[in-house]
């Protein structure tokens, strides 16, 4: 799951919580909050759908082994790359690889829990009122605002310093091949290997 998908899930989860609060209290405020969260989720979903296509690389592995080739531009290059490690008759799986879209993010719930833990360590029972206040409904909108601001700052910092995931994730199977000594024979194609 990439950063945008995670943010969409967070919006939907917050909308569900707001609906639960409305069901308990009957206050329209919670329905408005749920509507805002769903609207944000829809906007993010639209942005996600418009993202550029993913550039694929390929790697090959001997079936049942962890022997992996380097990333290659074509499936044929991946097969040739692993050829020296093969014994006649072995099955080779060629995997599609896509550049990871993962980006770190600040999870506000975890951050608030960390603050509560710090306050508890510092003051024990004396911090209960503060802990209840910072995690309560009165600050729900303020926490959302802080979440957005902190993640905007983090995103700007990552962009400024060109910090990217730098790894590839598997994006499926291109096909499976049997090594016949001088050539590879395709025994299944993408979709047949699932």
**Are 185 and 94 members of one domain?**
yes
**Exposed, middle or buried, 94 (CB in 10 Å: 0-12/13-18/19+)?**
buried
- Asked if residue 33 is part of any domain, the answer here is yes
- Asked if residue 121 is part of any domain, the answer here is no
Query: 12 vs 19, 56, 84, 180, CA distance in Å?
Result: 11, 30, 50, 52
- Asked if residue 43 is part of any domain, the answer here is yes
CA pair distance 69, 161, nearest whole angstrom: 30
**Are 83 and 3 members of one domain?**
no
Q: Which of 12, 35, 51 is the last residue of a domain?
A: 51
- Asked if residue 155 is part of any domain, the answer here is no
In 3D, which of 108, 1, 97 has the Cα closest to residue 48?
1
**Are 5 and 87 members of one domain?**
no
CA pair distance 139, 126, nearest whole angstrom: 20
pLDDT number for residue 44: 85
Q: Which of 51, 77, 92 is the last residue of a domain?
A: 51
Structure confidence by residue, pLDDT tens digits, 113-123 = 999 999 999 99
- Asked if residue 172 is part of any domain, the answer here is yes
**Are 180 and 84 members of one domain?**
yes
Domain count for the chain, please give it.
2
pLDDT number for residue 153: 95
**Are 64 and 97 members of one domain?**
yes
> How sure is the predictor about 193, in pLDDT bands with cuts at 50, 70 and 90?
very low
Q: For the chain, what is the radius of gyration of the CA atoms?
A: 24
Structure confidence by residue, pLDDT tens digits, 25-75 = 999 999 999 999 999 988 888 777 666 555 778 888 887 675 666 888 999
**Are 171 and 81 members of one domain?**
yes
Cβ atoms of 59 and 73 within 8 Å: the answer is no
pTM: 0.52
CA pair distance 48, 7, nearest whole angstrom: 11
**Are 8 and 32 members of one domain?**
yes
**Are 45 and 66 members of one domain?**
no
Structural domain containing residue 97: 56-101+166-189
Structure confidence by residue, pLDDT tens digits, 156-170 = 999 899 888 888 888
**Are 42 and 60 members of one domain?**
no
CA pair distance 24, 18, nearest whole angstrom: 10
């Amino acid at each position: 799951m990439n950063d945008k998908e995670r943010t969409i899930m967070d919006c939907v989860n917050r909308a569900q919580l707001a609906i639960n609060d409305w069901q308990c209290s009957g206050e329209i405020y919670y329905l408005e909050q749920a509507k805002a969260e769903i609207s944000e989720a829809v906007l993010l979903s639209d942005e996600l759908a418009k993202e550029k296509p993913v550039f694929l690389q390929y790697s090959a592995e001997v079936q049942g082994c962890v022997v992996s080739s380097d990333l290659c531009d074509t499936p044929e290059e991946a097969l040739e790359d692993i050829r020296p490690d093969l014994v006649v008759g072995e099955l080779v799986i060629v995997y599609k690889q896509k550049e990871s879209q993962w980006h770190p993010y600040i999870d506000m719930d975890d951050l608030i829990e960390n603050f509560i833990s710090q306050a508890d360590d510092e003051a024990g029972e004396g911090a209960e009122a503060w802990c209840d206040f910072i995690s309560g409904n009165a600050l729900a909108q303020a926490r959302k605002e802080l979440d957005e601001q902190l993640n905007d700052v983090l995103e700007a910092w990552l962009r400024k310093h060109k910090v990217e995931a730098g790894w590839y994730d598997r994006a499926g199977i291109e096909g499976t091949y049997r090594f016949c000594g001088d050539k590879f024979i395709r025994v299944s194609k993408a979709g047949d290997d699932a």
